[in-house]
Amino acid sequence: MLKRIFVTILVFTVSIGLCGCLNKIVYIFDPIDEEDAAAQMEKLFVDLLDAVNENQTEVFDTYFANHVLTLPDFEIGRNYLFETYKGELIDIEHSVGPSGESIEPGEHYWYQSVYFDIITSENEYMACVEFYTKYKSENPEEPYKIRKIKLVEKQNFENSGKYTDCGLRYGIYYPGWVNGLV
């Protein structure tokens, strides 16, 4: 009898463990094409920068994740972006940044970072954009919804070779941005 209970518990434990592993294995065999995701985000980011040039604040609702739009300082970051980014886009080049996966109670999502070198008719900029690529939860975000943007003037950034920080929080970067605020 004791042996039967032990075997039943063992089979149950192994089954639960395999289900979790199978979920990871499915993801490994269905990876996100990071270069394709970066190219897609470049198109969306160019559209967003065009909206900034045309002073269209209402389009931000279509580009950002819902939880980002409700941040108390989202408007401050958006205003900083409108004040900082100037000129017509001449050139933009992207490079793939780190990607990741997060599992929290009720949520499972994947995200990607992309770095941009931007040249406009008035200035040069560097930007980091982090966005969702897949999202599973009760209230999922759509793919390519932006989690965070950090755009800075290239001339004001001392160590441009190591520009890799999107910060530790969500939203749009501005000079008073406090890391850790989520």
Residue 73's CB: how many other CB atoms inside 10 A?
17
pLDDT in tens, 16-32: 554 454 444 344 434 67
Q: What is the pLDDT of residues 112-168, one digit of tens each?
A: 999 999 999 999 999 999 998 887 776 667 788 899 999 988 887 655 444 445 556
Residue 167 falls inside a structural domain: yes
Percent of the chain's residues with pLDDT above 90: 42
In a domain, 152, yes or no: yes
2-10 own/partner pairs: CB under 8 Å, 24+ apart: none
Please indicate, yes or no, whether residues 7 and 78 belong to a single structural domain of this protein. Answer: no
Can you list the alpha helix ranges (DSSP code H) found in the chain? 2-29, 34-53, 60-63, 66-69, 74-84
- Measured CA to CA, the distance from residue 117 to residue 106 in angstroms comes to 36
CATH code for position 118: 3.10.450
**What is the tally of structural domains in the chain?**
2
Range of the domain at 131: 33-172
Query: Cα(37)–Cα(45) distance, rounded to whole angstroms?
Result: 12
pTM for the model: 0.75
Domain check: are 94 and 65 in the same one? Answer: yes
Has residue 182 been placed in a domain?
no
Q: In this structure, is residue 85 part of a structural domain?
A: yes
